[in-house]
Chains A and B, each alone.
Chain A
Amino acid sequence: MTSLGSSSSSATEYTVRVPKNTSKKYNLMAFNAGDKVNCSTWTQARMERDMSGRRIYGDEETADGAAGSEFGKKQREEARRKKFGIVKREFKVEDQPWILKVNGKAGKRFKGLKKGGVTENASYYIFTQCPDGAFEAFPVHGWYNFTPQAKHRTLTAEEAEEEWGRRNKVVNHFSIMLQRRFREQERGGDDDDDENEKSGKKKKKGGGRGGDLRIHDLEEDLEMSSDDSDSSLGDDGESKTKSKKDTGKGKAKKKKKRKSSDKEALEDSDDGDYEGLEVDYMSDESSSSDEEPEKGKISKGEDHPKGIDEASESEEESEEEKPNEEEAKEEEEEEEGKKTPVQTEKKKKKDSSGESESSDDSDIDGETASALFMKKRTPPKRGGRGSAGSSRTGSRPGTPSIDSASTSNTLRAAASKLEQGKRPTPGPSADSPAAKRLKMEPSSQSPAPSGKSTPQPPSGKSTPSSSDVQLTEEAVRRYLIRKPMTTKDLLKKFQTKRTGLSSEQTVNVLAQILKRLNPERKNVNDKMHFYLTE
Chain B
Amino acid sequence: MSEKGEVDLTGAKQNTGVWLVKVPKYLSQQWAKATGRGDVGKLRICKKGNQGKAEVSFTLNEELTVIDGIEDKTVSAPRDHPFTMQTVGGQMLAVFTENSSGQSEERSDGSSSVSGAGAGPDKIALEGVVVQRAECRPAVSESYMRLKRLQIEELAKPVRLSQQLDRVVTSNYKPVANHTYNLEYERKKKEDGKRARADKQQVLDMLFSAFEKHQFYNIKDLVDITKQPVIYLKEILRDIGIYNVKGTHKNTWELKPEYRHYQGEEKTDE
Binding site for B on A (CB under 8 A): 1, 4, 6-35, 37-40, 42-48, 63, 65-72, 93-94, 100, 119, 121-128, 135, 137, 139-141, 212-217, 248, 327-330, 333, 434-435, 438-439
Q: Which residues of A contact B130 (CB under 8 A)?
A: 28, 126
How long is the Cα–Cα vector from A59 to B23 in the complex, in angstroms?
41
Q: Which residues of A contact B25 (CB under 8 A)?
A: 121-123
Chain B residues bordering chain A, tally (CB within 8 A): 91
Most central of A11, A32, A93, A100 by chain B CB within 10 Å: A11
A-contact bits for B92-110, CB 8 A (1 contact / 0 none): 1111111111001111011
A-contact bits for B222-262, CB 8 A (1 contact / 0 none): 00000000000000000000000000010010000111001
B18 in the interface, Cβ–Cβ < 8 Å?
yes
A9-B49, A13-B42 known; A69 vs B28 contact (CB < 8 Å): no
How long is the Cα–Cα vector from A422 to B173 in the complex, in angstroms?
84
A42-B12, A67-B264 known; A23 vs B100 contact (CB < 8 Å): yes
Q: Which residues of A contact B20 (CB under 8 A)?
A: 28, 124-127, 140
Q: Which residues of B contact A65 (CB under 8 A)?
A: 213-214
In the A-B complex, list the 3 residue pairs whose CB atoms are closest, starting with the nearest. Answer: A33-B90, A67-B264, A23-B104
- B9 engages A45 (CB within 8 Å): yes
- B128 engages A70 (CB within 8 Å): no
Min Cβ gap B116→A in Å is: 8
How long is the Cα–Cα vector from A1 to B262 in the complex, in angstroms?
83
B171 in the interface, Cβ–Cβ < 8 Å?
no
Which residues from 1 to 15 on chain B have a C-beta closer than 8 Å to any C-beta of chain A?
4-7, 9, 12-13, 15
How long is the Cα–Cα vector from A315 to B248 in the complex, in angstroms?
42
- B94 engages A31 (CB within 8 Å): yes
Q: Which residues of A contact B96 (CB under 8 A)?
A: 26-29, 47
A15-B39, A122-B22, A137-B21 known; A71 vs B265 contact (CB < 8 Å): no
- B127 engages A128 (CB within 8 Å): yes
Across the interface, name the chain B residue whose C-beta is closest to A43: B9
Q: Which residues of A contact B106 (CB under 8 A)?
A: 20-21
Binding site for A on B (CB under 8 A): 4-7, 9, 12-13, 15-16, 18-25, 28, 31-32, 34, 37-50, 57-59, 89-101, 104-107, 109-110, 112, 114, 117, 124-130, 134, 210, 212-218, 221, 249, 252, 257-259, 262-270
How long is the Cα–Cα vector from A424 to B138 in the complex, in angstroms?
102
A29-B96, A66-B262, A216-B267 known; A13 vs B257 contact (CB < 8 Å): no
Q: Which residues of B contact A29 (CB under 8 A)?
A: 93-96, 126
- B217 engages A16 (CB within 8 Å): no
Min Cβ gap B96→A in Å is: 5
- A329 engages B258 (CB within 8 Å): yes
- List 17 additional contacts besides A9-B48, A72-B218; criterion CB under 8 Å: A1-B44, A4-B46, A6-B48, A8-B50, A9-B46, A13-B44, A23-B107, A33-B92, A44-B6, A46-B6, A66-B263, A93-B117, A122-B22, A123-B23, A127-B43, A329-B270, A330-B268
How long is the Cα–Cα vector from A38 to B48 in the complex, in angstroms?
31
Q: Which residues of B contact A18 (CB under 8 A)?
A: 31-32, 34, 38, 40, 109
Q: Which residues of A contact B34 (CB under 8 A)?
A: 18, 20
A16-B41, A28-B95, A72-B218 known; A127 vs B267 contact (CB < 8 Å): no
- B31 engages A137 (CB within 8 Å): yes
How long is the Cα–Cα vector from A36 to B124 in the complex, in angstroms?
22
A31-B94, A48-B4, A66-B263 known; A119 vs B270 contact (CB < 8 Å): no
- B21 engages A33 (CB within 8 Å): no
- A40 engages B214 (CB within 8 Å): no
